[in-house]
Structure 1
Amino acid sequence: MTWLVTGGAGYIGSHVVAAFREAGIAPVVVDDLSSGVESFVPEDVPFLRANLLDTAALTAFLREYDVRGVVHLAGFKYAGVSVSRPLHTWEQNVSGTLSLLRAMEETGVDRIVFSSSAATYGTPDVDLVTETTPTHPESPYGETKLVGEWLLADVERASGLRHTSLRYFNVVGSAAPELYDTSPHNLFPLVFDALVRGDTPRINGTDYPTPDGTCVRDYVHVADLALAHVTAARRLEAGDALERVYNLGSGDGVSVRQIMDTIREVTGIDFTPTEADRRPGDPARIVADGQLAARDLGWAMRHDLRQMVASAWEARQAAGEAYPS
């Protein structure tokens, strides 16, 4: 069977492509390279450089490779920037998903694994987020991810679409040195970039009601995340019943200071992070319960924090001058 990975030239998408190949499932990729890296796509994987808004190109590509299902990761993913670019965010994430669903309907593709986000929850008032925790997105990005979930449910009611949505939290690490996180907004790249420049990383807020006073967040390894997509695709292919939403979370969490300490140990670069005031709206702790995903998708935390940091740092170093400034 052949599965389309939208956004397959991105950090997470390229890992999903690799996991599909390892599992013996043939992937094909669509990506407009607005944030993806063409070299992340293996040379023998069919690749269409196109925006999801190009329904005709998507339809032709689905037909050409007899695609049976879709993993939909493409989109504008920067929550903070989405506040100043709401029209762009809604166009790429909602109109793009609509275009993809039209192409799928035209070609009879009726299975989709959707890349959703913890941003759908906003700032939850519970320490452990479950799939039943109320959704209160606080950015256009979070809103568009929630709307994407609604769209899939609507199409299911109309035509029997088989789908599930995976809500990501903080995805880090690397499964291969040539695949690195290019985001200018994620914590690991920000800290690594500061160290490479000779600057000192910063902690925002050290007086939270947590064991060490810094925020606690849920971090998962990208390779573990990719494996969950493979299982979801296989189960949809088999016609198995899946939940409509799964949290891919650790059930535990690590603090920002723990991350800084681990980065110092792994890189061998001695630094003491500077300390700044809290950022408005940053909750003390957000950790997700991954029990449903463990039950249905074989979800497990196969990498500890040190492995996450070490693999991410190896990939950052391997990128060298290719790493985007």
Structure 2
Amino acid sequence: MTWLVTGGAGYIGAHVVRAFRANGIDVVVIDDLSSGHAEFVPEGVPFIEASLLDAEAVRRALTGVTGVVHLAGYKYAGVSVERPLHTYTQNVTAMVTLLNEMAAQDIHNIVFSSSAGVYGTPDAELVTEDTPTGPQSPYGETKLIGEWLLADQANAVPLKHTSLRYFNVVGSADPKVYDASPYNLFPIVCNLLSKGEVPSIYGTDHPTPDGTSVKDYVHVGDLADAHVAAARALESGKALAPAYNLGSGSGTSVREIMDAARRVTGIDFTPGETPRRPGDPSRVVASGELATRDLGWKNSYTVDEMFRSAWEAWPRS
């Protein structure tokens, strides 16, 4: 049992690689390092530095593999509006190449990294897998198209698949791996506090208990374990749903994140307050009940534990 992890040198991918190895599953990584880091790939893991657009490289990476976790892609939703063709090429064209090569080598198992972006701004107190999709960016659209590709390919060839829809992935399960995204809340806060600067809250007039937006934050270690569970289920022949939300069911506000940062770091700061950004939803929280039922999914970290793990892994100059 050997699985290919596309994007395995990225923040999430590197955690998935570690989770597979911890569960005795051999792993191969392919990553073009456009946003990943070669040093995130553990020693001894076969690593091919290449784009999924390179069919020959994908063919080599798939040799001897029994399944694929597909995480590689362009993941910046806001920037995707400015670079739609790039986003579609990296997320759709590349996935077509991957599925073509999988079919050619009779590889029938795939776990796809989808996104909460497929829902857009849902009009639901609690998002479930039955909540209507309505992506509002090229990024979200490409993730939904990726799910369609899997369903259509499964009608044409033997293919067992499931898609995991992530919300806000945070923290670290290994001090050598950290989230370097310039757009995510936790790394923004860690970066500013480590430099002696003060982070800000965008919007304090939301219709929420403390006036700041409430979102679902999921620890990357729990997320990685969900990939292992999904891979094992597919390998065993267990029928899985087409998609699963990995959500807490409750959510955490931005102010609660700031309070956790103060407690964890010991830095006494008062966050700045600025007007909310256009399009920022007040609340996006998902139910993880289906994933709990089928994958044993659980969100096992408190907000303080999530932030502490991110802070301890954050690189200091």
Shorter-chain TM-score bucket reads over 0.9
What SS does the corresponding residue of 1:296 show, helix, strand or coil?
helix
Structure 1 residue 196 displacement after superposition: 2.0
Q: Where does 1:26-105 land on structure 2 (aligned, <5 Å)?
A: 26-63=26-63, 66-105=64-103
Structure 1 residue 106 displacement after superposition: 1.1
Structure 1 residue 103 displacement after superposition: 1.0
Asked if the contact 2:127–2:287 (Cα under 8 Å) also holds between the matched residues in 1, the reply is yes
CA distance in 1, matches of 2:279, 2:58: 39
Q: What letter matches 1:170 in structure 2? A: N
Cα offsets for 1:6-39 (capped at 9, x unmatched): 0000000000000000100001100000000101
Identity of aligned residues (%): 65
CA distance in 2, matches of 1:198, 1:256: 20
> Aligned residue for 1:196?
194
Cα offsets for 1:56-83 (capped at 9, x unmatched): 11112212xx000000000000000100
CA distance in 2, matches of 1:312, 1:192: 8
CA distance in 2, matches of 1:52, 1:145: 16
CA distance in 1, matches of 2:198, 2:228: 39
* TM-score normalised by length of structure 2: 0.99
> Aligned residue for 1:132?
130
CA distance in 2, matches of 1:143, 1:284: 22
Cα offsets for 1:125-168 (capped at 9, x unmatched): 11100000000000000000000000000000001210000000
Moved over 3 A (4+): none
Q: What letter matches 2:306 in structure 1? A: M
Q: What letter matches 1:302 in structure 2? A: S
Asked if the contact 2:194–2:316 (Cα under 8 Å) also holds between the matched residues in 1, the reply is no
* TM-score normalised by length of structure 1: 0.97
> Aligned residue for 1:25?
25
CA distance in 1, matches of 2:56, 2:101: 7
What SS does the corresponding residue of 2:66 show, helix, strand or coil?
strand
> Aligned residue for 1:253?
251
CA distance in 1, matches of 2:176, 2:60: 30
> Aligned residue for 2:311?
313
> Aligned residue for 1:5?
5
CA distance in 2, matches of 1:62, 1:119: 28
CA-based RMSD of the aligned residues comes to 0.7
CA distance in 1, matches of 2:117, 2:125: 15
What SS does the corresponding residue of 1:275 show, helix, strand or coil?
strand
What SS does the corresponding residue of 2:68 show, helix, strand or coil?
strand
> Aligned residue for 1:152?
150
Does residue 212 of structure 2 align to residue 214 of structure 1?
A: yes
Q: Where does 1:175-186 land on structure 2 (aligned, <5 Å)?
A: 175-186=173-184
Unaligned runs of 5+ in 2: none
